[in-house]
Amino acid sequence: AQKVTQAQTEISVVEKEDVTLDCVYETRDTTYYLFWYKQPPSGELVFLIRRNSFDEQNEISGRYSWNFQKSTSSFNFTITASQVVDSAVYFCALSGGTSYGKLTFGQGTILTVHP
Amino acid sequence: DARVTQTPRHKVTEMGQEVTMRCQPILGHNTVFWYRQTMMQGLELLAYFRNRAPLDDSGMPKDRFSAEMPDATLATLKIQPSEPRDSAVYFCASGFQGFLGYEQYFGPGTRLTVT
């Protein structure tokens, strides 16, 4: 069975603060994929990143960065210099290597960035 | 810019009525997923297809839900009869296995309200 845990239900920050969203996962698959999705108030699910289990390199994309650590089964997401437009629900998700891409989602973290 | 399309975007119906939700996957994608999002359960997988064949529908209440792919350009999710507890946002996603693993793209969702 696969499981994704996002322990932070809600986070509130002031604009320009850095914020880290935590994600811990469980899987028995040796090959798997980790994802982050953003769900803004409009409701759509916006793909942010996919990371393969065999690639532990951290990734940076603009103000976004991701820290993947297999040793602790974590895939954390940091937003640097947060902006009001970052306010959304963020989901971490896991797909096992043999599951043809089906996703197991965490419960989501509601991020509110105040001006 | 290829996108997954879903119709209708919003549906309000009375308990006991049949509801049909439609999804047009991205051309060339061979896997289609149906997810449901509720406040209580979060995002959960209902069913998915690969090359139009159903792979797993264990997430669906079998007595009232059915999912089909009559052709490669259309996936349907039906609820008959609908109940108030079916009120949720239903997302369709399509995907394929790329060089670095599965990629999956979500439609905008159908917001269903059953009164």
pLDDT digits (tens, 9 = 90+) for B40-84: 999 999 999 999 998 888 889 889 999 999 999 999 999 999 999
Q: Which residues pair with A89 in a beta bridge?
A: A39, A110
In A, which residues are within 8 Å of B103 by CB distance? 50, 101
Rounded Cα gap, residues B101 and A17, in angstroms: 34
What contacts B71, CB < 8 A, 6 or more positions away?
A: B52
In A, which residues are within 8 Å of B90 by CB distance? none
DSSP B57: -
What contacts B58, CB < 8 A, 6 or more positions away?
A: none
Confidence at B100, pLDDT banded by 50, 70, 90:
low
Q: Which residues pair with B5 in a beta bridge?
A: B24
The token pair that represents B84 in the structure block: 């108030």
Would you tell me how many other CB atoms lie within 10 Å of the CB of residue B57? 16
Q: Nearest C-alpha of chain B: how many angstroms from A101? A: 5
CB nearest to B48's CB, from A37, A44, A102: A102
Q: Is A104 on the interface with B (CB under 8 A)?
A: yes
Interface of A with B in 23-52 (CB under 8 A): 33, 35, 37, 43-45, 47, 50, 52
pLDDT digits (tens, 9 = 90+) for A47-101: 999 888 888 888 888 999 999 999 999 999 999 999 999 999 999 999 987 777 8
In B, which residues are within 8 Å of A40 by CB distance? none
